[in-house]
Amino acid sequence: MTVDAANISLTDYPIQRSGVIAQHVLDEMVLYDSEKEEGYSLNQSARSIWDLCDGQRTISDICSALAAPLSLDPGLLQDDVLITIQQLAAMNLVTLNEPTASA
Amino acid sequence: MSLQLQPNTSLVLTQEVAYISYAGHHLAITFETPDLMEDVHRIFGKLLTTNPPSVFHTLNIRKIDSGYAIDGVSEMESKLDSQRSTLQHLKFEVIHQFIKLTPNHLWLHAAGASLEEKGILLSGAWGKGKSTIVSELCERGALYLSDDIVPIDMTSGSLMPFHLTPMRREYEDAHASLSPVEVSNLSKRIIDLSADSYARSGVQLAAIILPEYTPEATTALVPHSPALTTMTLLENCLNLKTKKEQAVRFLGSLVECVPVYRLPYNDGAAGAALIMDLITE
C-alpha cells in the first residue's frame, strides 16, 4: 500500500518494499520496480539510506546509524534523510512497517 | 528508430525469399510483393544467408489496399501503411524472433565495435550519435559489431556481432540544433566497410560509452555514474520485460567491471580518437 509520503515522520519505520529489485553498482544502486516496470538510480548517499530501511529502525535511528561513523550530530542529517525517505515512499519503493514489540 | 534509405541500383535480386541468420538460427522472409526486397537486403546486410538447412520461422510480406501486411508476427497480423513503417516493424519483428530463440542473451539497442579483442559498447537513445562513433571507430581499424542492436551473451559476458548494415545520419549543417523529429527525418548513408572490418565472433566488454552528439559540445570523455549507466542500459534493453531481475543483476554487474564514460561531442572523428586512446592505452 502506498504511504502518504508527506506525513512520514522521524518516528516511522521505513522498509524496502518487496517486489523492488535492488542491485548495488559499485557505491551506487539501481532499483527496478518489476510491477511498474520502472527503474531508479540512487547515489551513494541515497543508497546508504536505502540499505538501512529494514523496518526495524526509525528514521531517527537511521540518522544515528549514518552519523556515528562520521562523528556527526544525527540532527544534522535529519532533514536530508527524511526528504530522501519521503521521496522513496512517494515512488512506492519503501513503505512503513508496524513496529514490533521488540523494536 | 528511422530509416530513410538511399537507392542502390547495383543490387540485383532474383529471390523471393530472404534468409536472415544469427547464432545458427535461420529466419525466412518471403515476399508476395517485390517492393521491399531491395530494402530488406540493404538493412540486414551481412546477416543475410543463402540456402540455410532449415528455418525456425517465416515472416511474409504482402501488399494490401492500404499498404502492406506482415504475416507471422508475434501478436496479430500487422497492417502498415507505408514502406518505411513496414520496414521498421519488420526489423523489430526479426529481432523479436531471435530474442525468443536466445534465452541467454540480453538484446540492447546499442552500437558496438571491437578493438584489439576489446569490446566497446555505445549505448543511448536513438539520435545520440552511436552510429557516427562506431563508423568512425571502424575507419580507424576497429571491427564492426553492430550500429543498432548488440546482443550480449550472459553466459560468457561477450558482446556478439549482429551485422545490420552500418549507416549513419547525414547532417547538412553539423552545427544546427535539431529536434528529435528533425533528427529522425535525416537521411542515412550506408557505411562501406571492407569484408575484414566485420567482427566474426563475440568479444569481452572493455568500456561502455554513452555518446551525446551536441553541436555546441566540447568533445570529451567524462566519467559517468555507474548507476545511471546501468539505467541507460536497462532503458535500451529490448528484452527487459521478460528478463527483469536477471537483466538488472547482469547489467549492474557488467557496469562494475569496466570504465563508463559519457561522450559529449560535436566531432565524431575526435570522439572516436578519444575512445581509441582509452582502449589502447
Note the pLDDT tens digit of each residue in A49-94: 999 999 999 999 999 999 999 999 999 999 999 999 999 999 999 9
CB contact under 8 A, B244 and A24: no
CB contact under 8 A, A30 and B225: no
Q: Where are the beta strands (DSSP E) in A1-103?
A: 13-16, 20-25, 28-33, 38-42, 94-97
Taking only residues 37 to 56 of chain A, the set having a beta carbon closer than 8 angstroms to any beta carbon of chain B reads 37, 39-43
Residues in chain B: 281
d(CA B113, CA B150): 10
CB contact under 8 A, B244 and A21: yes
In the structure grid, which three cell numbers stand for residue B165, read together?
Answer: 548494415
Residue of B nearest to A19 (CA): B245
CB contact under 8 A, B230 and A24: no
Q: What is the pLDDT along chain B (281 residues), one digit of tens a residue?
A: 444 444 443 444 445 899 999 999 999 999 988 888 899 999 998 999 998 999 999 999 988 888 898 999 876 657 777 888 899 899 999 999 999 999 999 999 999 999 999 999 999 988 889 999 999 999 999 999 999 999 999 999 999 999 999 988 776 666 566 666 666 667 778 888 999 999 999 999 999 999 999 888 999 999 999 999 999 999 999 999 999 999 999 999 999 999 999 999 999 999 999 999 999 98
Nearest Cα of chain B lies from the Cα of A28 at a distance, in angstroms, of 6
- Angle of the A78-90 helix axis to the A44-51 helix axis, nearest 10: 80
Note the pLDDT tens digit of each residue in B173-218: 665 666 666 666 677 788 889 999 999 999 999 999 999 998 889 9
Q: Which residues of B touch A34 (CB under 8 A)?
A: 244-245
d(CA A93, CA A87): 9
Determine the pLDDT at residue B181.
66
pTM to 2 decimals?
A: 0.88
Q: Which residues of A touch B229 (CB under 8 A)?
A: 25
Residue of A nearest to B255 (CA): A25
Instruction: Answer whether A70 touches B (CB < 8 Å).
Output: no
